[in-house]
Structure 1
């Protein structure tokens, strides 16, 4: 069909047609799906653009999720699906309790210590397990 002279007097087309594939608009991503995509983007040789294109998200969105993971706001799963155990040191119950440092209360002195290379991170013992897991995941990424 000749577009220069249609039956309705249409004289050519000077616009642009864009075909959208896949879902459009706002989507809600579960944290476990975000974490899996972020973990995939951290693989050696992976490109943020390529991973984002494969999952049909924008590179900016993936970059935001990566930032959230680094800041401990998005917990990443363990890469090998095995539980992450670390050595635990338990002090003898009969040993005298250590004095809290510099006038701190016993509650303030109760901490969880995470040692990694030359870094020692101390978290309050009453920290939620999810937060501790997020911190450990973020530390693993930075190593």
Structure 2
């Protein structure tokens, strides 16, 4: 478990999290926003993301609440560049001869008041 904690600390330091000897951590808004945005990805759970960041799920839920209230700004979603679909223009084909459909419909009589 000690190896995992070291890996977590180095991961957090790479995000700019200040870790004090007492165990207290100061989280920059960018690191909070990253954690919250990771919970919004397909298939992600608050518990899994919280574990990766070494925090309790309720702390991450509080950050999500801040983001929902507009107190924490999330990074913009990556938008793919628009692409153009190729357009293929074909010559108009002559209409094919369609077989003529004829029917001999029988007249229908409706008699009211029999029932």
TM-score normalised by the chain length of structure 2: 0.49
Q: Which has the larger radius of gyration?
A: 2
